[in-house]
Amino acid sequence: MSLITTIEDLRKLAQKRVPRMFYDYADSGSWTESTYRANESDFARIKFRQRVARNIDERSIRTSMIGQDMAMPVALAPTGLAGMQHADGEILTARAAAAFGLRYTLSTMSICSLEDIAEHVGKPFWFQLYVMRDRAFIEQLIERAKAAGVDALVLTLDLQILGQRHKDLINGLSAPPKLTLPNILNMATKPRWVMGMLGTKRRGFGNIVGHVNGVADMSSLSSWTAQQFDPRLSWDDVEWIKKCWGGKLIIKGILDVEDARLAANSGADALVVSNHGGRQLDGAPSSISQLPAIVEAVGERIEVWLDGGIRSGQDVLKAMALGAKGTMIGRPHLYGLGAMGEVGVTKALEIIARELDVSMALCGYNDIRDVNREILLPGTFPENVY
């Protein structure tokens, strides 16, 4: 454990321990992966101003997101198939997040169900909702989320149709995954993963299987999911979901200023500047490059968060400096989960928290809530472009 010092260390370990088809699902983008790469490289271009002889005693990285206390300005983003990175993955990740003082977001396309998280974690968490054609199922999901103790709904808008993800196509990843000979042979080289999966009953899509007419098991899931993501999704649907839910609402997948204005007009509590981790529209800009313009346009009306490309506490600090009120991390906690289960997720959070605290101090600040673009070197960060 002492040799794990960065998120990259966790990524490398996860790559060794997780079967290729599931590792590639987490660590890849669509088409040429240019947007996936830009999410990280655009962060790297931003430089800090190092300051000295400033009071950096009694530091705090605590803050709040949509009025909920957080140990740092980080929530764990929804990620499908987390339970295939490690057995019972969503339960383990939710436990680690809760113990750390953060919120975990369970995906609609999770392996463990809403009820699993409620039973095995026992603390509030968030739920991410995809809009399906079957509106009765959506209403049922929302009611199940309420019953499970979910205290914020994350509505993802940027997956009306699925982006073309070449690695998933090559690996035969589908719902359910195809057990081709190459996949079986690769799984055989991951004995730790195999033993974990043999020891759990959770190997299906827990939020869907058994809750939809005609989908009683994994064999009948593929045809249902292929038809269900709704390309007719509109802002009227957002209004309907807001009324059905009645609680804190976060809109995820905003990358354009005009869409940000529409999100603010919807009455949502927060929006997430995000390109789905570079997994949808390849050639779209990085999330961090769009953040300043969106903050300028709507930051006084709605909390603006950032998702995509965060691999360190320094990246969190840069997002906060450019006006974000919070961030969401997906791949860092998946790397930790795939590498070492719950302990690995905790390690990922500890790494990010430590990097955030130290970097903030070396920029001359002792409270994350006071950080602004004064900590950044002029000319190295994106200006407002709208």
Q: Which residue ranges make up the annotated binding site for glyoxylate?
A: 25, 165, 276, 279
Positive or negative torsion for Cα 173, 175, 180, 186:
positive
How many CB atoms are located within 10 Å of the residue 334 CB? 31
Number of H helices, E strands in the chain: 15, 10
Q: How far apart are CA 221 and CA 231, in angstroms?
A: 19
Q: What is the CA radius of gyration of the chain?
A: 20
Residue 217 CB partners (closer than 8 Å, separation 6+): 204, 209
Q: Residue ranges for the binding site for FMN? A: 78-80, 107, 128, 130, 156, 252, 274, 307-311, 330-331
> What residues form DSSP beta bridges with 153?
127, 249
**CB distance 373 to 40 below 8 Å:** no
Return phi, psi of residue 326, to 5°.
Answer: 180, 170
From residue 288, how far is each of 139, 165, 171 by CA, in Å? 34, 22, 30
H or E element: which one contains 340? helix 331-362
> What positions carry a catalytic annotation?
276
